[in-house]
A and B are shown apart, each in its own frame.
Chain A
Amino acid sequence: MPNPRSARPNRRGVLAGAAAVSAILAAPAVVRAQASALKIAVLLPRSGYLAPSGQSCHRGALIAPQVLAHYGYRVELVHIDTESSVDVARTQAERAINEGAKCIVGAFDSAGTLAMAQVCEQRQVPLVVNIAGAPQLTEQGLKYLVRNFPTGGQLVVNGLKLIKDVLAATKLAPKSAVFIHANDTFGTAQRAAMDRLFPAAGMPFQLVDSIAYDPTAQDLSVEVTKIRARSPELVLVVTRAADAIKLVRDMVRQRFEPQAVISPGSPGLYDEEFYQALGPLADYHVYNLPWADPKAPMSQALEAAFKAAHPNFRFAVDCFNVGFTVEALLVAAAAFKRAGTADGAPLMQAIRATDIADHVMIGPAIRFDDKGQNPGIPSACVQSRNRTPTVVLPAEAATMTPVLPQPSWQGRS
């Protein structure tokens, strides 16, 4: 549903307006482009097997125009469902550009993103990737693609460091860990990164086993039995929400009590379905991910808009998907404003020169290297407390201190 584009009058809007006016006076040739909004097509998998994540991102896309308007950015969004299919992603990208989209944001799954990237490259329309894990996307030399999302490798590097930090902060000294991951695109990328990075990471514990499970399995009891056969004190997980529920349930049933369940860099331990299914058992899990900065003004504005627009959903749960989606739109909108035109080549140039300090996620200003990758997205250490994801590290962004080892499964309320 389109949101009203009009900016509410406030100091920022006036300043932005003044800036716009001076830009208009300075460059009369681009008057028409400046006065209008940037038409962006947002392609997300809102049905098919990626539906939960796609719909979560979509909630962010719906409120982006009004939030960006506060900052003087005008966007007009077209929302398209890629149906978790490469075929649809490609044809719909063509259609979107036909119908006037000057920029594309998407697409969560790497195959669809690459299909769209080829269209964008051929038609010289910028593609800003909000979320997509495959490292190869920014290794292809594509000129019209930027990704404001860490690669699997970056996530693991940051995640491992944060594991060391959180163990130090809670004075926990586990001796062994088992790494279990879904055998899908994301899980495989993180496994490859773990295999490569763990030995040199200098972690205080040993990794005694790495287990890959079938993400379509309905039952993970055997996998949990395998884990507990090794008696690890730490369980490192890369899962999706539905699998995370099964894992924890079977750990409880099999009376296996690790000191901590930590995700080095994947979502899944904090989805709403996870909380609803497990209640108090969902608490104390730790996940190291880029996160919305609770102290950033744009993040706070986003949270307020989210609450108003989606009363049945919690911002804390959606902020990963929502934050990155809004940031991708921010990148496009800010570049449009700077370039003063929606034409492909200058717009792309402006996007590549992005340097935005005031954004949603924790970390330094949004910048892209010459491959189009943003190399500086840090992770935060987030822990579920009272069924709410809470940032516990780094201290500057934290709202609570981490608590480990996790209490026993029994007797939790």
Chain B
Amino acid sequence: MSGIILNVVVQGVLTGLVYGLMALGLSVIFGIVRVVNFAHGEFAVIAMYAAFVLFRNFGLDPVAAMLPVAAVFFGVGYLLQSALINPFVGRAEHEQFILLVGLGMVIVNGLLMIFGPDARPVNLSYGLDSYEIGPLLIDKARLLAAAAAVVVAAILFGFFRLTALGTAIRACADNLIGAAVVGLDVKRLYALSFGIGLACVGAAGALMVTIADARPALAQAFTLQAFVIVIVGGLGSMSGALVGGVLIGVSEALAGFFFEPSMKSMFSFALLVVVLVLRPQGLMGRRA
């Protein structure tokens, strides 16, 4: 029995890491640009379809497809922020909300019209392999995706901590007026941050397709989950997003195992309420 439970925990950790990467993108966008990206899940689903198309037409493994997809998404994010989102930065949340809900509708239904409603699978040659280590049965695809998620997060972490550009972006997040006073080009940095955030989403979406099949209907669930993880883990904290993802992944897995699996999301939402009430900065965020 303990072997089974260990399996459940490990599954939760691996899945949680990939969800955490998706939440990471939201953390960057929300934490730095202060835009409530309610179209977050929709972008992730676009990335899933992009990886699916690259796999179907060029045989590109999604883990490798992560790079071109993330690059394209960076560009898209940069342009999107400059053209569409910038006028809404600093405006009331409900206005951002409507803009992004509208954008989300356009994306989901566009995908529905192009690809149809059925699930689009990426059938990797190793997609059904698993490693057996003692009582553990670990999926190869999930393990690879989780490892890639950690690598991307580490790169991002390094960027924000160690480079001048990263530090400048963090300065914007911490103190907007101060940053402007110091001479930082805030608009350009915002666009860069949005680009980076969306690149994260792109990478996460490409990895997601090794675990789930691309479908337009996934978008809303992804958005909600990303928000839950970001709040629980802590806004503006890279490690917080991953830790939050793992926490949500494991707690949902355990809740699903010991209680009824159809109830497992209840625990995430209950956890969200508890975090909001008791520790609103999240597990690893700093008090504003």
Asked if chains A and B are in direct contact (CB within 8 A), the reply is: yes
Question: Which residues of B189-242 have CB atoms within 8 Å of chain A's CB atoms?
Answer: 208, 211-213, 215, 217-218, 221
Residue of A217, A245, A246 with most chain B CB atoms under a 10 A cut-off = A217
Kindly identify, within residues 182 to 235 of chain A, every residue whose CB is under 8 Å from any CB belonging to chain B.
183, 211-214, 216-223, 225-226, 229
Contact of A212 among B109, B121, B137, B261 (CB under 8 A): B261
Residues of B131-165 contacting chain A, CB below 8 A: 132, 137, 139
Given the interface pairs A52-B118, A271-B118, the reply to whether A217 lies near B264 with Cβ below 8 Å is yes
Interface string of A245-260 (1 = CB under 8 A from B): 1100100111100000
Q: Which residues on the A side are within 8 Å of B130 (C-beta)?
A: 253-255
* Chain A residues with CB below 8 A from B208, complex form: 218
Task: Report, nearest first, the 9 A-B pairs whose CB atoms are least far apart.
Answer: A51-B117, A277-B121, A183-B262, A212-B262, A273-B118, A222-B256, A242-B119, A218-B212, A213-B261
B181 at the interface (CB under 8 A from A): no
A121 interface hit (Cβ, 8 Å)? no
Which of B8, B119, B132, B218: most chain A Cβ within 10 A?
B119
Would you mind naming 30 contact pairs between A and B with Cβ atoms under 8 Å apart? A47-B112, A47-B117, A49-B217, A52-B117, A55-B117, A183-B262, A214-B261, A214-B262, A214-B265, A216-B265, A217-B261, A218-B218, A218-B221, A219-B15, A221-B11, A221-B139, A225-B11, A245-B213, A249-B127, A253-B129, A253-B130, A255-B130, A255-B132, A255-B137, A272-B118, A273-B119, A273-B213, A277-B119, A277-B123, A279-B123
- Residues of B within 8 Å of A252, CB to CB, are 128
Docked-complex contact A253 and B257, CB < 8 angstroms: no
Q: B121 CB to closest chain A CB, in angstroms?
A: 4
Residue A75 at the chain B interface, CB threshold 8 Å: no
Seen from chain A, the residues whose Cβ lies within 8 Å of a Cβ on chain B are 47, 49, 51-52, 55, 183, 211-214, 216-223, 225-226, 229, 241-242, 245-246, 249, 252-255, 271-273, 276-277, 279, 281, 409
Q: In whole angstroms, how far apart are the Cα atoms of A213 and B256 in the complex?
A: 8
Q: Is the interface of A mostly helix, strand, loop or mixed?
A: helix
Q: Give the complex CA separation of A253 and B253 in angstroms.
A: 17
- B4's partner among A183, A217, A225 (CB-CB below 8 A) is A225
Question: Is B82's CB within 8 Å of the partner chain A?
Answer: no
- Give the complex CA separation of A51 and B112 in angstroms: 9
Complex CA gap A202/B251 in Å reads: 39
CB–CB B117/A223 < 8 A: no
Residue of A nearest to B216 (CB): A51
Assess the B212–A246 pair: CB atoms within 8 A.
Answer: yes
Q: How far is the CA of A211 from the CA of B256 in the complex (A)?
A: 10
Closest-CB distance, B8 to chain A (whole angstroms): 6
Q: Which residues of A contact B86 (CB under 8 A)?
A: none
Q: Is the CB of A273 within 8 A of B212?
A: no
Candidate in A47, A219, A241 with the most chain B CB atoms within 10 angstroms = A219
Bound state CA distance, A75 and B15, in angstroms? 52
Q: Bound state CA distance, A217 and B109, in angstroms?
A: 21
In the complex, A219→B252 CA distance in Å?
A: 11
User: In the complex, are the beta carbons of A245 and B261 less than 8 A apart?
Assistant: no
B residues lining the A interface (CB < 8 Å): 1, 4, 7-8, 11-12, 15, 109, 112, 116-121, 123, 127-130, 132, 137, 139, 208, 211-213, 215, 217-218, 221, 252-253, 256-257, 260-265
Q: How far apart sit A220 and B253, CA to CA, in the bound complex (Å)?
A: 9
Q: Is the CB of A253 within 8 A of B139?
A: yes
By a CB distance below 8 angstroms, the chain B residues around A183 are 262
Cβ contacts under 8 Å, A279 to chain B: 123
A219 to B210, CA, bound (A): 11
**CB closest residue in chain A, given B128:** A252
Nearest-neighbour CB distance to chain B for A316, whole angstroms, equals 16
B192 to chain A, nearest CB (A): 30
CA distance A4 to B263 in the complex (A): 51
Q: How far is the CB of B271 from chain A (nearest CB, A)?
A: 16
Question: Smallest distance from the beta carbon of A112 to chain B beta carbons, Å?
Answer: 17
Contact A242 B261 (CB under 8 A): no
Are B213's CB and A219's CB within 8 A? no
**Cβ contacts under 8 Å, A409 to chain B:** 128
Contact A242 B137 (CB under 8 A): no
Query: A207 to B117, alpha carbons, bound, how many Å?
Result: 34
With a cutoff of 8 Å between Cβ atoms, the chain B residues found around residue A49 in the complex are: 217
State in angstroms the CA–CA spacing of A212 and B259 once bound together: 10
- 15 additional contacts (CB under 8 A) given A52-B118, A229-B1, A255-B130: A211-B261, A214-B262, A214-B265, A216-B265, A217-B264, A218-B211, A218-B221, A222-B261, A223-B256, A225-B8, A225-B257, A226-B261, A252-B128, A253-B139, A277-B213
Is A241's CB under 8 angstroms from B119's CB? Answer: yes
Chain B residue with minimal CB distance to A242? B119
A195 → chain B closest CB, angstroms: 14
Nearest chain-B residue to A277 (Cβ)? B121
CA gap between A372 and B251 in the complex, in Å: 47
**A216 neighbours in B (Cβ, 8 Å):** 221, 265
